Each structure stands twice: as structure tokens, then as C-alpha cells.
Amino acid sequence: MSIVVKNLSKQFGSFKALDDVSLEAQSGSLLALLGPSGSGKTTLLRIIAGLESADRGSVLYEAEDVTHQSPKDRQVGFVFQHYALFRHMSVFENVAFGMRVRNRPGAEIKQRVQELLHLVRLEGLAQRYPSQLSGGQRQRVALARALAVQPRILLLDEPFGALDAKVRQELRQWLRQLHDEIHLTTIFVTHDQEEAFEVADRVVVMRGGHIEQSGSPQEVFDHPATPFVMDFLGNVNVFHGRVENGMAMLGALNIAYPEYPHAESRDATAYVRPHELDIERFPFGTSSLEVRVTQVNPAGSVAKIRVFSEQFGLALNVDLNLERYIELQLKPGDQVYVSARRVRVFMPNAPEYSI
Ligand code: ADP
Ligand code: MG
């Protein structure tokens, strides 16, 4: 069941919460809505669920226009950040709730609840109460409860947002596995880019009520369409400067930039990810920047190096692969030279240029 959103707009008073938003989640896919707080993610999800109505635009499930259907008729499974389990009901009864409301026979309920608790890996806990569960277990119960009524689509609004980092990490892997087992078209809201990139088939980046970019995690990460996306994806080195005559003069880094051959000088900002910077012991070429190593942190398969340029008062993050790091034998205090393998230059009001 695909989900198609066409030209949705929504205002609260004079405030535009959604401004002409269109997207498609393909049948069986997992789509992440990623954006900072207030960007309209929850409003969009609630309109897709039928919990909120749009001022303009439509929502289709497959070819069926559901814009004016009630949430109940849409048959949506919904999980919120703050688990709304019934505290006075056992895990079993929480999961069974929707089926009891629909007067399903007892034997069917029992079998289905068992299947679902197996699916969310909580078989042994059917008789517990929510207060006897960890946060992660409660969210898995909430998911089992959402799945119990055999929804046509699944909508998750920051389902792991209230949990600590380690549990979030486990649950996002678990969610991906679960999705691969059940193949239910799912839209997953998060403000955490790592979560979106690890879990989703497709990422839609939102900002101020509109879609800034959508694509596969790889596409968005490798080709951020705007400075906002680049910045939001986190941990980038930013250089401010100018472009003119085929050169980008970014303070510390001067780089050939044939995409802008014009004589007229224009402001530009360049972004370089930590893994796109390299370190050498000796100066090389015309565009290496003298820096001092301030921190060295080998973490897993990369070493995270922090360096500082006295001349430009600029701190940079460099990720080196472990081999390169061992070869260089870097220590805090070392004087070294940094260069960029790849730079993305943005000029205000101009499309992206990459070198
Ligand atoms: P997100 O989920 O991305 O944090 P929301 O969709 O919750 O964003 O909210 C987007 C904007 O719309 C926010 O500025 C929020 O204050 C506003 N908003 C959301 N719901 C309402 C409402 N019912 N009434 C007034 N403003 C609202
Ligand atoms: Mg929200």
C-alpha cells in the first residue's frame, strides 16, 4: 500500500505549518521524515493518519483518496513518542485492546497476541504491567498494539525519542529487522539524522513546513541539495569566503573552482565533511592548510582528529581511516597539513556546485 501526499498545506492561525508538501512512500517501504523541531513533521503525520485535516491538498493510500476519511476508516497503526499504554492493563490486554473493541473471538485474540509478542520479542512478558517494563519494552508493546488491528500502514512519531542513546540504537536496528519481516508501508518521524539514515529506505528532510530534499539516505548524504541539509546532517566543517575567476577563496583553503569563471566576486560558503579532509606531515600543493593537532580519538574504524589553524582561528574535524591514522602516528601538539578531497560550495541564491 503506497502513501501519496499531494500539495498539502496547513495553517494554524496565520502560521504556515505545512506549505505545499508532496511526497510518496512506496508500497512496503520505510520512509523517514527528518527535520528539526517545529518543521511540521508531526502535523504532516497527523494529516496522513486523519487525526488532523489539511487546508488544501490530498492524501492517497494506493489509488484510494482518503483525504476525507476518519482515522478509523483509514486503518492506520500509530505509535507516539510518549507511549500511551493502559497502565492498569497487562501487556497481553494492551495488545489485545483493539481486537476486543472489535469483538474478535477470544481464541483468535489469544493467538494473534502471542504472534505479535513473538514478533516484538516480548514473549515472556505477557502478564506484566507497563510499570514493570523498561522504556524500550513499552515502545515495543505500543508497536505490537498498533499492529494488532492489522493496519494498512504504520505511522511512528519519534517512537524512540524519550529513550536513552544506547536503547535507541538497539531499537532502530530492531525496527529495521521488524520492517523487513512485515513489509508494512511505514512513515517514521525523527529529528535524529543517524536514526533516519540507519533505518529508512528513503529520507525526506523538512524545514519550516516544506520539504527541503528527499532521496535515498546515500543520495541525501552525498548530494545535500542545500546548505540547510548539509548543516542538518551534522558535523561538517564550514568555510566562509568568496568565489571569483574560477577560484574559491575560502580563507584557509584556496581551491580551483571552474564552475564559477566570472570576474564578479560573490560570497560563498563551503562545507567539507570530516572524512573528506586529509592530513599530511608535510605541505603539499598550494591548498594545504597548516594546523596543529589538538585532539586524537581513535574510535572503531575511524580516528577522529581535531585540529586548529592559528592563522585563521579555525577548528576542524577530520576523520581518518585507522590505517592512515596509524601510518601518520599523530599526537596532540603535532604540526600537520590539511587538505580537502572534496568541497561543496554554496552561493546564496545559486544552485549547488561541487568540486
Ligand atoms: P515537528 O513535529 O516537526 O516538531 P509540528 O508539526 O509539531 O513540528 O509543528 C510545526 C509547527 O506548527 C510548530 O511551530 C508548532 O508550534 C505549530 N503547531 C503544531 N500544532 C499546532 C496547533 N494545534 N496549533 C497551533 N500551532 C501548532
Ligand atoms: Mg513532532
Number of Cβ atoms within 10 Å of the Cβ of 335: 11
More confident call, 215 vs 237: 215
Contact 242, 232 (CB under 8 A): no
Measured from the Cα of 37, ligand 1's closest atom is 4
- Ligand 1 within 6 A of 349 CB? no
pLDDT of res. 349: 55
Look at the domain 237-354 and name its fold: OB fold (Dihydrolipoamide Acetyltransferase, E2P) (2.40.50)
- Whether the per-residue pLDDT at 205 is higher than 90: the answer is yes
Distances in whole angstroms, Cα of residue 81 to Cα of each of 22, 59, 112, 140: 24, 23, 25, 12
User: Hey, which of 83-87, 236-240, 277-281 has the most confident mean pLDDT?
Assistant: 277-281
CA-nearest residue for atom 14, ligand 1, is 38
pLDDT at 344: 82
83 has a pLDDT exceeding 70: no
* Interior/surface letters 248-275, b for 16+ CB within 10 angstroms, e for the rest: bbbbbbebebebbeeeeeeebbbbbbbe
Residues of the chain with CATH 3.40.50.300: 3-232
Residue 14 beta carbon below 6 angstroms from any ligand 1 atom: no
Which ligand ends up closest to the CA of 204?
1
pLDDT of residue 79: 92
C-beta of 284 in contact with ligand 1 (< 6 A): no
Q: Flag whether pLDDT at 113 surpasses 90.
A: yes
Q: How far is the CA of 205 from the centre of ligand 1 (A)?
A: 16
Among 12, 18, 53, 206, the mutation site with the greatest number of ligand 1 atoms within 8 A of its Cβ is 12
| 193 CB within 6 A, ligand 1 | no
Rounded distance from Cα 85 to ligand 1 centre (Å): 24
pLDDT for 350:
54
Q: Is the CB of 17 under 6 A from ligand 1?
A: yes
Nearest alpha-carbon partner for 332 in 300, 303, 298, 307: 307
Q: What's the average model confidence in pLDDT over 37-54? A: 96
State CA 114 to chain mean position distance. Answer: 32
Judged against a pLDDT cut of 70, whether residue 348 lies above it is answered with no
Contact 35/211 with Cβ under 8 angstroms? no
Where in the sequence of the chain do the CATH 2.40.50.100 domains occur? 237-354
Q: What is the pLDDT of residue 93?
A: 97
Mean pLDDT of 266-273: 86
- What fold, for 3-232? Rossmann fold (3.40.50)
Is the Cβ atom of 172 under 6 angstroms away from ligand 1? no
Residue nearest to atom 15 of ligand 1 (CA): 38
Tell how far the Cα of 17 is from the centroid of ligand 1, in angstroms.
6
How far apart are alpha carbons 173 and 145 in whole angstroms?
20
Which of 109 and 258 is assigned the larger pLDDT? 109
What average pLDDT score do residues 4-32 get? 97
Task: Look at 72-76, 264-268, 344-348 and tell me which has the smallest mean pLDDT.
Answer: 344-348
What is the rounded CA–CA span in Å between residue 155 and residue 158?
10
Flag whether pLDDT at 291 surpasses 80: yes
Helix (H, G, I), strand (E, B) or coil at 261: coil
Q: Is the dihedral of CA 233, 326, 312, 243 positive or negative?
A: negative
What residue's CA is closest to ligand 1, atom 5? 40
Which among 3-7, 73-77, 118-122, 271-275 has the top mean pLDDT? 3-7
Ligand 1 atom 22: the closest Cα is on which residue?
A: 12
| Region 202-216 average pLDDT | 96
List the residue whose alpha carbon is closest to atom 12 of ligand 1. Answer: 17
Mean pLDDT of the chain: 90
Average pLDDT over residues 171-200: 89
Q: Which of the listed residues 42, 47, 206 should we mutate to test ligand 1's pocket, taking the one with most ligand atoms within 8 A of CB?
A: 42
pLDDT above 60 for 352: no
Using the predicted structure, report yes or no on whether residue 355 has a pLDDT greater than 80.
no
Ligand 1 pocket test target in 43, 155, 192, 193 with most atoms within 8 Å of CB: 43
> How many Å lie between the centroid of ligand 1 and the Cα of residue 214?
21
- Indicate if ligand 1 lies below 6 Å from the C-beta of 190: no
41 lines ligand 1 (CB under 6 A): yes
Q: pTM for the whole thing?
A: 0.78
Write the pLDDT tens digit of every residue in 144-179: 999 998 999 999 999 988 888 778 888 888 898 889
How large is the average pLDDT for residues 291-299?
A: 92
pLDDT on residue 110:
96
Q: Is the CB of 37 under 6 A from ligand 1?
A: yes
- Coil/strand/helix, residue 222: helix
Closest residue to atom 21 of ligand 1, CA basis: 12
